[in-house]
């Protein structure tokens, strides 16, 4: 078992074609080539910090402002989920909590763990970390649910004086947080997980 | 599969996730070749993949376009009825920085899926018809793949369901035709992506570019 880098080659991460190590762009799909993305971790942490920074106001400010004839109420992400639960829809409340709280927090922790493990040249459970990376890339998008709900409701509930719903500042902060974390995960070069593992030693003969 | 330097470089496939080299071999439709080390799927050809993906992409084009103009939710409260289409959502965050939220939402729900369907149809049509690849087909396919995580139709469908419950105390909500179009769209998008094997398509594009240009029909003088 050898890697492209050990053979002096470089793999295109978009189309999997292999090129000589000096090539700068993939001759087939046109993607930019790099044997290892040297700035990968820097970009991961930059987007990660931006994502965490936006997640704080996203939870403190109201997501939705509801005005009816008699009242005006503001609800945050967690407050909104609790309201839904009080209506008796535990399933939907759970979806909101998972998408808006559980997934982002797990994602922050997981990306930090991956970044640190590569920095510390960990050799532990590479397959597990690879799966973790794939899961993170897959679930991150689902956090956008709450942003879409706000967009839908503020377009829909415009019933003159009877009731109206406006988006709160948290909608923007939360959308940015999700997008920044998606960029953070995308910046991570998973090949770094494998670089400190021996490839020749202990490998099985074909 | 030991890779030695005598294997032509064009026959090698590198794992995009762990950089391990393998020798690419054609495999049967329905089978999958995975990376020996990290188990990333490298090759997974499907039967009739191009014509199926093309048909579904065209269907998606039609669905997205139709969904723009039809309401996806309607609300009944105190005798007032309000129906909204995605065009209304696009214009809902009237003021300030929240416009950013609207623009990104509409891009993710509408523009990106539309663009992906267009690009895929463009790249796959010559493959399905066994013609020479169109100019820029590689670019189209690469961009379509890069846009994949940003197309969020299925998430929007769940968002509609949550919205429905969220205003349950305030008013009665019904799903409009565009909602059902989006459900179909989400299913089709998953089917398209399942039938697309990146490695096979890149190889097919390589082959399709080698084909001669079609000869213009010869005019016979009488």
| B121-174 residue pLDDT tens | 999 998 888 888 888 888 999 999 999 999 999 999 988 888 888 877 777 888
- Nearest Cα neighbor of A178 from A59, A93, A55 is A55
Give a yes or no: residue A29 inside a domain.
yes
**What integer pLDDT is reported at residue A187 of this predicted model?**
92
Q: Confidence band (pLDDT; 50, 70, 90) for A201?
A: very low
Angle at B144 between CA B140 and CA B145, to 5 degrees: 120
Residues B191-219 have a mean pLDDT of 78
The minimal CB distance from A159 to the residues B82, B150, B169 is found for B82
Same domain, A51 and A98: yes
Q: State whether A62 and A15 are in the same domain.
A: no
Residue range A143-156, pLDDT digits in tens: 999 888 888 888 88
Same domain, A103 and A25: no
**Quick check: B84 and A156 CB within 8 A?**
yes
A2/B37 CB distance under 8 A = no
d(CA A202, CA B97): 56
Ramachandran quadrant class, B42 (left: phi over 0; alpha: psi -120 to 50; beta: rest): alpha
B-chain residues within 8 Å CB-CB of A182?
149
Instruction: Specify whether the CB–CB gap between A199 and A2 falls below 8 A.
Output: yes
Q: What are phi and psi of B207, to 5 degrees?
A: -65, -45
Q: What are phi and psi of B84, to 5 degrees?
A: -120, 140
Q: Are residues A77 and A169 in the same domain?
A: yes
Q: What is d(CA A54, CA A63) in angstroms, rounded to the nearest whole number?
A: 13
Task: Give the rounded percent of residues in chain B with a pLDDT score beyond 70.
Answer: 89
Do the Cβ atoms of B200 and B50 come closer than 8 Å?
no
Task: Determine the pLDDT at residue B49.
Answer: 83
Is residue A158, in this structure, part of any structural domain at all? yes
What was the pLDDT predicted at A205?
37
What pLDDT does residue B214 have? 62
Are residue A4 and residue A73 in the same domain, yes or no? no
CA distance B115 to B131: 23
Closest partner residue to B155 (CB to CB) among A148, A159, A165 is A148
**Measuring CA to CA, how many Å separate A186 from each of A35, A37, A40, A132, B144?**
16, 12, 9, 13, 16
Do residues A105 and A50 both lie within one domain? yes
A137 inside 8 A of chain B by CB: yes
Judge whether A199 lies within some domain: no
- CATH number of domain containing A72: 1.20.140
User: A173-176: which pairs have CB atoms within 8 A and are 24 or more residues apart?
Assistant: A173/A54, A173/A55, A173/A57, A173/A58, A173/A61, A174/A54, A174/A55, A174/A58, A174/A63, A174/A77, A174/A100, A174/A143, A174/A146, A174/A147, A175/A144, A175/A147, A175/B100, A175/B101, A175/B104, A175/B105, A176/A50, A176/A54
- Classify residue A25: in a domain, yes or no: yes
Both A148 and A165 in one domain: the answer is: yes
| pLDDT score of B11 | 83
Question: Is the pLDDT higher at A58 or at B206?
Answer: A58
Say if residue B212's pLDDT is above 90. no
The answer to whether A3 contacts chain B (CB < 8 Å) is: yes
- Full domain range(s) for residue A76: 38-194
pLDDT in tens, B87-125: 777 666 666 667 778 888 888 988 999 999 999 999 999
Cα(A151)–Cα(A129) distance, rounded to whole angstroms? 35
Three-state SS at B23: strand
Q: Is A61 found in the same domain as A20?
A: no
The answer to the question of residue A206 being in a domain is no
Distance from CA of A145 to the nearest CA of B (A): 5
**CB pairs A-B closer than 8 Å:** 218
Beta bridge partners of A75: A64
C-alpha distances out from residue B170 to A61, A167, B25, B108, B153, Å: 22, 17, 60, 28, 26
Residue B96 has a pLDDT of 65
Higher-pLDDT residue of A57, B39:
A57
Would strands A18-20 and A9-11 be described as parallel, antiparallel, or unpaired? antiparallel
| pLDDT average, residue stretch A180-199 | 88
Nearest chain A residue to B80 by CA: give it: A159
Split at pLDDT 50, 70, 90, the class of A204 is: very low
Mean pLDDT to the nearest integer, A92-119: 92
Residue-level pLDDT at A203: 44
Question: In chain B, whose CA is at the least distance from the CA of A145?
Answer: B159
Angle at B36 between CA B30 and CA B38, to 5 degrees: 100
pLDDT at A160: 66
Say if residue A18 is in the same domain as residue A83: no
Of the candidate ranges A57-66, A140-149, B18-27, B162-171, the one whose mean pLDDT is the lowest: B162-171
Q: Is residue B76 classed as helix, strand or coil in its secondary structure?
A: strand
Number of domains in chain A: 2
Q: Which of A142, A152, A191 sits opposite B17 (nearest CB)?
A: A191
Are B17 and B40 in contact, with CB atoms under 8 Å apart?
Answer: yes
Domains annotated on chain B, with CATH = 1-45 (no CATH), 49-210 (1.20.140)
Whether B138 and A130 lie within 8 Å, measured CB to CB: no
CA distances from A123 to A1, A116, A120, A127 (A): 17, 12, 9, 10
| A105 in the same domain as A42 | yes
Would you place residue A107 in the very low, low, confident or very high pLDDT band (cuts 50, 70, 90)?
very high
Average pLDDT, chain A: 87
pLDDT of residue B97: 64
When pLDDT is averaged across residues B182-207 and rounded to a whole number, the result is: 88
Determine whether the interchain pair B166/A84 forms a contact, defined as Cβ–Cβ distance below 8 Å.
Answer: yes
Helix (H, G, I), strand (E, B) or coil at B134: coil
> Is residue A138 domain-resident?
yes
Give a yes or no: residue A201 inside a domain. no
Could you tell me if A46 and A29 lie in one domain?
no
Distance CA A91, CA A116 (A): 35
Please give the pLDDT value at position B6.
67
- Residues 158..177 of A with a Cβ closer than 8 Å to B: which? 158-160, 162-163, 165, 167, 169, 171-172, 175
A88 has pLDDT over 60: yes
**Is A119 among the domain residues?**
yes
Clarify whether residues A22 and A46 are in a common domain. no
The answer, for A152 touching chain B at a CB cutoff of 8 Å, is yes
């Amino acid at each position: 078992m050898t890697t492209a880098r050990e053979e002096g080659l470089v793999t295109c991460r978009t189309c999997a074609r292999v090129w000589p190590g000096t090539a700068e762009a993939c001759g087939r799909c046109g993607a930019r080539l790099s044997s290892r993305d040297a700035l990968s971790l820097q970009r991961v942490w930059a987007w990660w910090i931006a994502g965490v920074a936006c997640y704080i106001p996203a939870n403190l400010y109201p997501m939705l402002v509801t005005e009816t004839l008699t009242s005006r109420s503001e609800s945050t992400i967690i407050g909104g989920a609790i309201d839904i639960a009080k209506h008796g829809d535990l399933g939907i409340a759970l979806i909101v909590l998972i998408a808006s709280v559980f997934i982002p927090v797990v994602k922050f922790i997981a990306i930090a763990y991956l970044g640190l493990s590569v920095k510390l040249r960990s050799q532990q459970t590479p397959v597990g970390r690879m799966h973790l990376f794939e899961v993170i890339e897959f679930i991150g998008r689902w956090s956008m649910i709450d942003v879409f709900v706000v967009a839908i409701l503020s377009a829909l509930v415009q019933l003159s004086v009877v009731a109206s719903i406006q988006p709160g500042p948290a909608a923007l902060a939360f959308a940015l947080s999700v997008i920044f974390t998606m960029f953070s995960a995308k910046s991570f070069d998973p090949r770094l997980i494998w670089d400190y593992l021996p490839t020749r030693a202990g490998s099985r003969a074909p | 599969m030991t890779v030695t330097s005598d294997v032509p470089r064009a026959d090698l496939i590198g794992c995009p996730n762990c950089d391990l080299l393998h020798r690419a071999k054609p495999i049967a439709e329905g089978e999958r070749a995975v990376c020996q080390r990290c188990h990333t799927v490298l090759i997974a050809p499907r039967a009739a993949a191009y014509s199926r993906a093309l048909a579904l992409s065209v269907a998606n084009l039609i669905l997205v376009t139709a969904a723009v103009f039809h309401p996806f939710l309607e609300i009944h409260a105190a005798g007032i009825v309000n129906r909204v289409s995605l065009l209304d959502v696009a214009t809902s965050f009237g003021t300030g920085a929240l416009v950013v939220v609207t623009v990104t939402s509409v891009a993710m729900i509408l523009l990106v899926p539309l663009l992906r369907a267009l690009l895929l149809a463009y790249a796959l049509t010559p493959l399905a018809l066994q013609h020479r690849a169109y100019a820029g087909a590689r670019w189209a396919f690469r961009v379509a793949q890069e846009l994949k995580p940003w197309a969020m139709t299925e998430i929007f469908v769940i968002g509609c369901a949550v919205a429905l419950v969220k205003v349950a105390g305030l008013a009665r909500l019904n799903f409009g035709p565009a909602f059902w179009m989006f459900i179909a769209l989400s299913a089709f998008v998953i089917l398209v992506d399942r039938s697309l094997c990146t490695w096979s398509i890149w190889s097919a594009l390589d082959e399709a570019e080698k084909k001669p240009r079609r000869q213009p029909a010869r005019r016979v003088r009488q």
